[in-house]
Structure 1
């Protein structure tokens, strides 16, 4: 699994194309919370990059799909990318292309458009410190045949999970938690979707 922090390369200046993008660019909306509290839809990844400049991306999986056509064998890459600011925002996205780098770029853009808020807190009966180091209550999500349960943990526990799941929870901002997984967690596509579904419930349910 590879990790990518924010690209340091020179980027073309953002020219907003949507009403929301223009409001963000003009400073009329200054936080991601405002967007979600008002039920606005994000259609430009630059909005997320502008409001969450510290957001990072992580390549979760890249697969190769080969298809036989009349012109010969065609190879395409399927990428799955997760993004997060390690402080309560998390997203996942998929991308397909004939080149690996382009598939990753597409997946990264999709992940920015799918960013969700994750409610952090201290739901552990052993702790009750009211600090934002875990989640406020137990949540469970499903992706394909994989289920993932995230349980609040006390401060100092760290993340009790496999390396793949641990890195995704850290990206979302969790520092302490227990996890339980069901099904074939080696299937990272399904596992990542299960984690996303579980983390979404911290905000929707809470």
Structure 2
């Protein structure tokens, strides 16, 4: 956890976190409140938050004074337990671009739903996605399909860090489009993970698929539920 003296919060949510009124990141994410200070994430998740660079590229821009080069870095952050974020940063120096990307990723974190959605398994633990979801960015489309326990991440190396840091241990993936564009491939996977919280579920689904939202040991079990029979 971040040392209190190293951070002076500037937003209302930041101050509530700093003063101990908010002690769980899910209290913020479940309400859909934007995180405008990356320090909030550092303060609440501490050492459990890990980061990984998934893409670097040299980008050029023509100006009146000539061609200018910048380094673009894409970073994934997550706690390997239902919390994940992706961010991109540009700068002339690599270290600065990485710093910007990591800050943006922390301000772009989401929680996901996990469960045991494979008919071949039925163990009831949150090791996979609870149902098939699809994400799209640019021309790239990614499908995440529940897999039985022990299968692992059947996915391209490019997107494995996104799934692993999100806390997905077993999943089948399918993709279509120009997946060599790494940024779009990563973001399409991120969008697919977002979809896990947009699907309407029932109490029976929660019990049958072992669905949890965010950290498995957190404050939520799957809050966004619809009553039986609702469409």
- Checking the alignment, whether the CA contact within 8 Å between 2:116 and 2:122 is kept in structure 1 is yes
Q: Secondary structure at the match of 2:158?
A: helix
Q: Gapped runs of 5+ residues in structure 1?
A: 1-9
1:99 Cα deviation from its structure 2 partner: 1.2
1:27 Cα deviation from its structure 2 partner: 1.1
1:70 Cα deviation from its structure 2 partner: 4.3
Aligned residues: 197
Q: Secondary structure at the match of 2:173?
A: strand
1:73 Cα deviation from its structure 2 partner: 3.7
Normalised TM-score (structure 2): 0.81
Where do 1:170-189 residues align within 5 Å? 170-189=164-183
Task: Give the aligned partner of residue 202 of structure 1.
Answer: 196
1:71 Cα deviation from its structure 2 partner: 3.7
Task: Give the aligned partner of residue 16 of structure 1.
Answer: 9
Task: Give the aligned partner of residue 69 of structure 2.
Answer: 75
Runs of 4+ in 1 over 3 A off after TM superposition: 67-73
Can you list the C-alpha shifts for 1:76-107, whole angstroms capped at 9, x where unaligned? 11111111111101111111112111111111
Separation in 1, partners of 2:23, 2:139: 39
Separation in 1, partners of 2:89, 2:17: 26
1:68 Cα deviation from its structure 2 partner: 4.3
Q: Which residue of the other structure, out of 45, 48, 51, is the alignment partner of 2:44? A: 51
Normalised TM-score (structure 1): 0.90
Q: Gapped runs of 5+ residues in structure 2?
A: 201-231
- Checking the alignment, whether the CA contact within 8 Å between 2:53 and 2:74 is kept in structure 1 is yes
Separation in 1, partners of 2:159, 2:56: 17
1:25 partnered with 2:18: yes
1:61 Cα deviation from its structure 2 partner: 1.2
Q: Secondary structure at the match of 1:137?
A: coil
Separation in 2, partners of 1:162, 1:26: 43
Q: Which moved more, 1:38-47 or 1:189-198?
A: 38-47
